[in-house]
Structure 1
Amino acid sequence: MPTPASECLYCQNNETLHNLMIKIGDLEVSQLFLFKEQSYTGRCNVVYKDHGVELHELSDDQRDAFMRDVAKTAKAIAAAFNPTKINYGAYADTLSHLHMHIVPKYKDGYGFGGVFEMNPQKTTLSDAEYAEVIAKIKAGL
C-alpha cells in the first residue's frame, strides 16, 4: 500500500529526513539531498517535487525533467569526486515517493563491486566537511 503524503518524510520535511540528509537545493523538478552517511563520498538523493509512487506514472515531460535532474546531479558528483562508477537506485518499497539514489563508487573503496548498502552507518562528517562536500556538488550544478 502506498505511503500517504501525510506520512511521507519528504513531503513532511520532518526530523527523520533531517537526521538522514541535508538539503542541497532545488533542481528543475526535484530537490537534491546529501546523505549524512558518507561511506560513498558524495552520495545524494534526487527527490521528485511531488508525492508520487512510480516513474511510469509521470508524463513524458515530467519523467524527462526528473531524469535530467538525476543526470545533472551525477555529472556534478563525477566532476567533484571523480568516482570510478556511479550507481543509481530507485527503491521505494516502504516509502512511496519517487526518488533516485545517486551512489558514487570508488575502486578499492567501500562496497566497490557490490550492491550499495542503504545506510552502512560507518562514515559521518563534521559540519564543515558536509559544507565542503555540498559546495563541491553545487559547483557542478
Structure 2
Amino acid sequence: MDPAAATTPDFALDPRLAADTRVLGDLGLSRLLLMDDANYPWLVLVPRRAGLVELIDLSRDDRIALLDEVTAVSEALKAAVSPVKLNVAALGNMVRQLHVHVIARFETDPAWPGPVWGKVPARPYSDSSARDIAERLAARLGDGLKPVDL
C-alpha cells in the first residue's frame, strides 16, 4: 500500500485550524484546507498523521509525498489566482500540529511585502466565494483531491 494513502486512526485536526479554515478535501497524505480569510488566497496542508509537530517527524516516504502535495497545490493556486509570489511555510509557533501554509501574494494585498499574520483582521469568505476558489483548485488538482466526510 502507498504509505501516503492511509490516515492514522487517531488523526484529528487541531481545533484552531478547524475553526480558522474550510475543508477542501483530502490529498493522498494531507487534508487540504482553505484559510477563511479572503484577504489572501491561503491554503493549508495538514498531513493526516497523529502526533506530528516537525517535518522531521514524518517518515521519508511521507516527507516526499508532502513535498509533492505542496508542489501540486502551489501550482494549482498559482494557476487559479495568478499571484506575483507564493509564500510556503511550516511554522507551527501558534498551532503545533504539523501543517504547511501556501499563500498567494499580490503587491495589492494588505500585508505586502511583509508577512500576512496579524496585519489586518481576517475577512471571512462568502460561501459563494469559497466555493468558487474551491472549484478552481479542484479542477486543477483533478482526481488527486477527494471529498471528505466529516
TM-score normalised by structure 1 residue count: 0.82
Cα 1:61–1:140 shift into 2, 3 Å = same
- SS of 1:95 mapped into structure 2: coil
Give the conservation status (yes or no) of the 8 Å contact 1:30–1:48: yes
Give the conservation status (yes or no) of the 8 Å contact 1:37–1:119: no
Q: What is the match of residue 44 of structure 2?
A: 45
Q: What is the match of residue 97 of structure 2?
A: 97
Q: What is the match of residue 4 of structure 1?
A: none
Cα 1:37–1:99 shift into 2, 3 Å = same
CA-to-aligned-CA distance 1:76-103 (integer Å, 9 cap, x gap)? 1001000000001212124321100111
Cα 1:44–1:131 shift into 2, 3 Å = same
Give 5+ residue unaligned stretches, structure 2. Answer: 1-10, 142-150
Q: What is the match of residue 69 of structure 1?
A: 69
Give 5+ residue unaligned stretches, structure 1. Answer: 1-9
- Note the C-alpha offset of 1:122: 4.0
Measured in 1, the distance between the counterparts of 2:118 and 2:61 equals 29
Aligned-residue identity in percent: 25
Cα 1:12–1:116 shift into 2, 3 Å = closer
Q: How many residues of Structure 1 are paired with residues of Structure 2 in the alignment?
A: 130
Q: What is the match of residue 127 of structure 2?
A: 127
- SS of 2:124 mapped into structure 1: coil
CA-to-aligned-CA distance 1:1-29 (integer Å, 9 cap, x gap)? xxxxxxxxx71575x54431111011111
- SS of 2:12 mapped into structure 1: helix
CA-to-aligned-CA distance 1:43-98 (integer Å, 9 cap, x gap)? 11010111201101222211010111111111110010000000012121243211
Measured in 1, the distance between the counterparts of 2:99 and 2:117 equals 16
Q: What is the match of residue 24 of structure 2?
A: 24
Give the conservation status (yes or no) of the 8 Å contact 2:111–2:120: no
Measured in 2, the distance between the counterparts of 1:43 and 1:89 equals 11
Measured in 1, the distance between the counterparts of 2:135 and 2:13 equals 26
- Note the C-alpha offset of 1:108: 2.5
- Note the C-alpha offset of 1:137: 1.2
